[in-house]
Chain A
Amino acid sequence: MEQLQNKVPCREEQLNDLFNLLGDGDECLPCSIFISGSMATGKTLCVNSVLRCLNYKHVIIDCIECYTPKIIFETILSGLEDEEIEVKCETLMDLVNGLNRLQETRLGYDPIVLVFDRAERLRNLDANIMSAFLKLRELCNLNICCIFVTHLIYENFNFRRGAREPIKLYFSNYNKEELFRIIFLQQKPFIHHLLVSYEVDNEIKGELEKPELFANFLNAFLSVFYRPCRDLIELQHMACVNFIKYCEPIIKNEISATDLTKLWRHISPILKSSLELLYLRISDAKSVKPSPGKENSDTDSTPHNFENMLKEELTSTKTFAQSFELPYYAKFLLIAAYLASYNSPMEDKRLFMKNHGKQRKRLQQIKAKAKISEKLNTQLGPKVFTLHRLLAIFYAILEEKIGLTSNLLAQIATLVELKLIAGSKEIDLDTAKYKCIVGYDFIAAVAQTVGFNVRKYLYDFM
């Protein structure tokens, strides 16, 4: 028990509950247990380690892997067999028969636990399957218990016909202190990771291994990251990446390990910038070794550079947009498409014609001027436009006069191909309808390269 609690920190209450419910080997199991809780709260870990500790016969079914009833049934039956046997099981009846046969032949009244991980997937299957598993104990005469592990709450599972109520447990998320405690346990691997990537002499190594340093780092780290993210897995990953950066000046002897304010000043901009990388998992180029064997020695640096490039491209929309290297006219076509998507056709005259006449101010228009933010075009998403409108706007925003060549039309097809515009690839002059599917940031970056001000032509910003 002690050992288990060290392995699964900060989950004492839940572990106790599970132990109590599952009881001892010769006791009755409950009919079914429903465990819910947000991602990365240790649900699966708790269940698995408790079951391993109790040494019950159990099968863990990952409902992503087992996407049809047949696979689920067969996994259960073959999991309960001792040796590897091909099991055929098509229907629930076969499963129940199979379980009963097992009971007669070998298992007797030994406790059996079926764990359905990511049970939310069960909803995609036939609705009856989950209700049947909820009362599996009644359907076959085994000492069997089904545990459902999911990040949804029980209310999200609505059974049309009602079902036998399970015993529900909830795993709440770790709070800041608990996160601190858990990540702190990772100090050794972090340091190890650090030492692998850098050559450090012994004196500094001693400095780095001090727990105070790591604790200080974690405090700083969590103060930035706790707010947007409580996902342990993600936080651990980010902590690992940032700890290396935290230690860099110490290794280079620029800042001493005890100078906390300086270290904080050093790390806080880094943390802020890496906040942008949260969830993106763009690996730090340094920690990734190019896979051996495939590359020749002289091209070794290429993947390295490529990784860096990719990282940069993904981090800012601007560089990403530039990485497309579109032709000059294609850029204008894209801008025209964006304007066509985000302006209403009613305003075209006003926006794009030189002499659009004086605007009469009517009450209606004044009202329309008091724009409601939620009804802005830029917030409602792109609208559909026809090819005619696209070309009209294209010629309006393009200063020079060019002919409408097939080359130009082919550019549209290219944009569609690149998934910058949604629509049909074939250009049909009469019926084709398009929609621009890139965001404002992207368009602004493209427009900048051709010296065009998009904002000026957007009705929302007038």
Chain B
Amino acid sequence: MSRKLRAVIIGPGNIGTDLLMKMKRSDWIEPVWMVGIDPTSEGLKRAEAMGIKTCATGVDGVLDHVLADDIRVAFDATSAYVHAENSRKLNDLGVIMIDLTPAAIGPFCVPPVNLAQHAREVEMNVNMVTCGGQATIPMVAAVSQVQPVAYGEIVASVSSKSVGPGTRQNIDEFTRTTANAIEAVGGAKQGKAIIIVNPAEPPLLMRDTVHVLTEDEPDQDKITASVHAMLEQVQKYVPGYKLVNGPVFDGNRVSIFLEVEGLGDFLPKYAGNLDIMTAAALRTAELFAQEADKGNFVLPARS
């Protein structure tokens, strides 16, 4: 029996397609199905050309194949509105759901901060927060691991071309979900998130700024060391994650200036926001697969 977990991707847009391209290279996850709702969608055609089974009738169209194809993990790259239904139907069949929408019905997962804990607890639905959250929350956590953080604020600047219609129509979901995760995962007592869409040509690389207010005077040496250690953790799955400036200290303010260059799989390298999301989601599924392989994590039984 192959140790790889077999997967379905829901949503053949930018995120779903980029995820598929990364998954094709994975030692631990095998993409089997791509699910959409529009038979004429470019994304489904692309997936088909890559040798993936496709269906255009939404999640319902794939439910009958889940057991036969031994699908163990699903990635939802649609929008927050349909996620809860998708998740319930697939969870009932013993499929672990990795949620890339801002629905956040399951616990937030930011791999270098809390993935190991989710794997231990065999969470059936984990939420990948947002692109801005994946890029910044590790750094909020890097500070809060050193000393209490009263307030964490992030500013994500993304190129216009890398922001799809789903994000634009639900931009509030980005700010809300990211702010909640800055608190829940980053460890800040209060979180705030800002997103800026920049149309410059040629497109700018994703930039992320993290401003943290510590409760007491910041321990500069410890925070600097913690930030650099966290940087290495994120770089393991997002090689283009870079500390451009900082940490800068100004009173109780600690500011960290980051840049995320993508691998250029589906969208060009400027779309680091896409990469950090898909890379984190894949990293999450891979850890589940590795833990299952070691016997630390028992997949739901199937006849």
A, B: real partners = no
> A-side interface residues toward B, CB under 8 Å?
none
